[in-house]
Structure 1
Amino acid sequence: MLVIRPIRESDFDALMLCAEESGIGFTSLPVNEELIRGRIDHSVESFARNATSPGTEGYLMVAEDTETGEIAGTTGIEAAIGLENPFYSYHISKVVHHSRRLNVHNVVEVLTFGNNYTGATEICTLFLRPEFRGGLNGRLLSKCRFLMLAQFPDKFSDIIFAEMRGVSDEDGNSPFWAWLKEHFFSIEFTLADYLTGIGQKGFIADLMPKLPIYVNLLSEEAREVIGQVHEKTRPALRLLEKEGFSRRGYVDIFDAGPTVECMRQNIDSIRRSFTARVKIAEHGSAQDYLICNNDFQSFRATATKIGVDVERNEALISQEVADALLVSEGDTVRVVAL
């Protein structure tokens, strides 16, 4: 059984392994020991802070195999981005060029540089190691964050968004970045991506074009990947779209991968989730559910088969599941059907 829990300092080696296996383009997990330790320390401090409103907190969690103790992957939430370090994105919009005298009417797309997601909550750092992919594990790692958002809404913004990894090849070459590099930068995509991951974003403000970029002036290769996702990211995008996330015209400034967003109360798993009392009992008609406890600092979540007694408002779970969630009979849990 995989159980989601807050990351600990002792998980450093496991998180480094996730960073190495995630590959180029996974900005939130660069292979940098100092940064990885910093993210762990920040998460530990954030959980201990027990904030009552969204701020600079970053909550990083891991999926632990209860039988072996092995870490299967990681997932995270940034409570409010852009408050300390700027968060940049491009917004795709249209400009009309019209001349009545010449009878010319052209509608062109432009990319406008900005910080429009400042203060929003970002779901991020989702990575499941290859050997654990299958069954309910992927949905657990992604959807556990929605149970946290539902159970502790005061800690997060009303707007929830996620950046999707854009198109790049096996060597980390991005067609979109290739055009930017040629005209405005002199560094490779992998270095730019890495510098952003370790928090050194000053070069973006220094070198990124401040005026809108006309899309029709980009190379054909760059235009084709705007708003497209990396092939390994497509399952994650489909899952978020089923939850109600949609595109609002924002893309990443490096690889032009799309950003998707949803109002917190409109996320499907949040709308369908409910709280129930724990009843430790056998259940003959169990179904797949995502379930979490109501202790933020000792947050636990798992995906398993449980029974639900609607009339008594009870979640019928095994002792094994109760132990994994750190709950006892009579405690309150939040559940949502998978």
Structure 2
Amino acid sequence: MSKYLIRTVARTDYEQIHELASNAPLGMTNIPRHRHSLKALIDHSERSFAREAMRPREEYYLFVLEDTTSKTLVGMCGIMAKISSKGPVFFYRMDKYHTQYRTIPYLQPVTYTDAPTEIVGLYLTPKHREAGLGSLLSRSRLFFIANEPQRFTSTIIAQLQGFFDESRHCLFWEGIGRNFCDIDYAKLVDKLERNDIHIDQLFPRFPIYLHMLPKNIQDIVGKVYKNTRPALKMLEKEGFKLTNEVDIYDGGPKVEAQLDHIRSIRKSEVRSAVSSSKHALSKKVFLVSNCKINFKATTSPIKKLGGNRIALPPEVLKLLDVNPGDSIRVTAY
């Protein structure tokens, strides 16, 4: 049985989440480091879980990964129900046109007033990244989407952090964005977290011709930072596809998938829980969750039984806050 549990955030988690956010890479702008903004986000998440949402609006669902032995938070992730709920959403679309002499690549500014659900803010402490917990952290929130599909759009997107050099300089921002707003990337992130800057100050109105930029900037558009490559591979395994749009700040790629095509959702089953005291369990572990709004997920050996039942260790049922007869969602891990 795993000692790690994914659960919904609580206000009592604030100090530990603040520590996680403070250690997270610069640029995870949906996980604010400022105390006031972070408290507001946690409060917003609690209200979102409590709301009887029948369609996606401005809800934000924040989840934490807890080491239940030490009661320590080692990771977090979130879901924004509809990213355009508070205003337009901006991207650059990578495109090209053809002349008699050459093909000209360019970035076309695009604006969406009706944008979809986004999975956001995944962070796992470095010392826990080798234990395979990134998969638990990333995929568990897909189970929440499967349990509560009415809360989300039919399209799910994710934005992946763009390319940074070894000194953690954002080359895309330095090469493009800073020409429209002359502040360094760290100050930009700070202003975005404080809502001290309007996005229209940062966003051009006309295409940007890539061949007019330095070669090192051209080469990193739509590329991910090395620490983000595992996350991209995981999302691609789930059925997410690269789009031709990139983030306006760091140039990282946007991926998307249709909700009912996502592997962890499509291949999951909902079964009735049974205590495993009389049943031999699998040697493999599976991703399992409850089907409650007070969401909890972990990994566990299981035994599929007749009558659409599933046997789990009693300590896992307790961890998931599940009683025999309650519904369990399960898929291969």
Show the 5 A alignment for 1:45-194. Answer: 45-97=47-99, 104-116=100-112, 118-181=114-177, 183-194=179-190
In structure 2, the CA distance between the partners of 1:181 and 1:277, relative to structure 1 (3 Å rule), is: closer
Partner SS, residue 133 of structure 1: helix
- Equivalent residues, number: 329
- Where structure 1 has 5 or more consecutive residues not aligned to the other structure, the ranges are 98-103
Q: Aligned runs of 1:1-338 on 2, under 5 Å? A: 1-97=3-99, 104-116=100-112, 118-181=114-177, 183-202=179-198, 204-281=199-276, 282-296=279-293, 298-309=294-305, 311-338=306-333
Distance across 1 between alignment mates of 2:130 and 2:176: 38
Which residue does 1:101 correspond to in 2? none
Q: 2:234 and 2:31 mapped to 1: Cα distance?
A: 21
CA distance in 2, matches of 1:41, 1:292: 24
For the residue of structure 2 that corresponds to 1:225, the secondary structure is coil
TM-score normalised by length of structure 1: 0.93
Give, in angstroms, the shift of residue 4 of structure 1. 1.1
Distance (whole Å) between structure 2 residues aligned to residue 76 and residue 229 of structure 1: 20
Letter paired with 1:291: V
Structure 2, gaps ≥5 residues long? none
Q: 1:261-301, CA deviations, whole angstroms, 9 ceiling, x for partnerless residues?
A: 101111111110010010101424342211111111x1111
- Offset from partner CA, 1:162-192 (integer Å, 9 cap, x none): 1100111354311111122553221001112
CA contact (8 A) 1:137 1:303 kept: no
The alpha carbon displacement at 1:195 in A equals 2.2
Q: Distance in 2 between matches of 1:201 and 1:319?
A: 51
Aligned-pair RMSD on alpha carbons?
A: 1.6
Q: Which digits, 9 at most, give the CA deviation of each residue in 1:32-63, with x for residues without a partner?
A: 11111111010011111121111100000111
Change (3 A) 1:222 1:184: same
Contact residue 9 and residue 45 of structure 2 kept, 8 A: yes
Paired residue secondary structure (2:183): coil
Distance in 1 separating the partners of 2:68 and 2:189: 34
Does the Cα contact within 8 Å between 1:35 and 1:198 map onto a contact in 2?
Answer: yes
Q: Identical aligned pairs, as a percentage? A: 33
CA contact (8 A) 2:281 2:302 kept: no
Measure, in 2, the Cα distance between the counterparts of 1:171 and 1:302: 36
Secondary structure, in 3 states, of the residue corresponding to 1:26? Answer: coil
Q: 2:189 aligns to what SS in structure 1?
A: helix
2:84 counterpart letter in structure 1: G
